[in-house]
Amino acid sequence: MTTNQTKAPFAAAVYRPDTVDRMALVKFVLKQKSLNTRVGGVLQEALFNSAGAVVGLNAVDVLTNRRIPITRPVKNDDECSLDVSALVETSEIIRNAINVRLDLVVVEKFGELEQNGKGLIDEILQTIVEGIPLLISVPEAALPAWQDRSGELGSVLPFTEEAFQQWWQNLK
């Protein structure tokens, strides 16, 4: 992956299936909060069963730490079902971040819905239009779709806390 860093106020934090530190975005957010950066948006939190298998996913409001259940197991234990009402709540989190003009908005992640023009894509693009710095995690396989949606603008970063910090410092 080529790292492209521009002064654009948004960046794709690209991760691969073998990315070692999947907590890099969370660590970056916690660091920014400790530095009094007004950061908001949505992170994801996996829920595990006693065997260590993922059994659900929460959206976490970065500003308030409120957890919103977004997927839970359905009849077949190997499948999770998306709670569509959770999309309303998570989109509201991002809209509120835009309305109060936070310093930074993070979104984990540019998922299948967003790749198909649904989910949180309107709020993500509105954040960019408003000029509010945005850091969004993007699976490597979805990078072409992200670049198409974002007009190939913005930065493309490796999924490391150091890369996120460098990008953030370059914006200032």
Question: Among residues of the chain, what percentage have pLDDT more than 70?
Answer: 90
Torsions phi, psi of 152, nearest 5? 60, 25
pTM of the model: 0.89
Domain 10-171 sits in CATH at: 3.40.50.300
Torsions phi, psi of 141, nearest 5? -65, -25
SS3 state at 142? helix
Task: Say yes or no to pLDDT of 35 above 50.
Answer: yes
What would you report as the CA-atom Rg of the chain, rounded to the nearest whole angstrom? 15
Please classify residue 34 by burial: count the beta carbons closer than 10 Å to its beta carbon, then call 0-12 exposed, 13-18 middle and 19+ buried: exposed
Please classify residue 100 by burial: count the beta carbons closer than 10 Å to its beta carbon, then call 0-12 exposed, 13-18 middle and 19+ buried: exposed
Q: Which residue has the tokens 């997927």?
A: 71
Task: Say yes or no to pLDDT of 78 above 60.
Answer: no
| Ramachandran class of 69: left when φ > 0, alpha when ψ lies in -120 to 50, beta otherwise | beta
pLDDT in tens, 124-148: 999 999 999 999 999 999 999 999 9
Q: Tokens for 29?
A: 């957010």
pLDDT in tens, 143-171: 999 999 999 999 999 999 999 999 999 99
- How many Cα atoms sit within 13 Å of 100 on the Cβ side? 14
Which pLDDT band holds residue 103 (cuts at 50, 70, 90)? very high
Please give the C-alpha separations between residue 69 and each of 2, 53, 59, in angstroms, as whole numbers.
Answer: 35, 17, 6
Which pLDDT band holds residue 1 (cuts at 50, 70, 90)? very low
Q: Tokens for 121?
A: 């894509």
pLDDT at 53: 87
In DSSP notation, 50-93 reads: TTS-EEEEEEEETTT--EEEEEEE-SSTT-EEE-HHHHHHHHHH
pLDDT at 42: 97
The mean pLDDT of 29-41, rounded to a whole number, is 97
* pLDDT: which is higher, 46 or 7: 46
Which pLDDT band holds residue 2 (cuts at 50, 70, 90)? very low
Domain map of the chain by residue range?
10-171
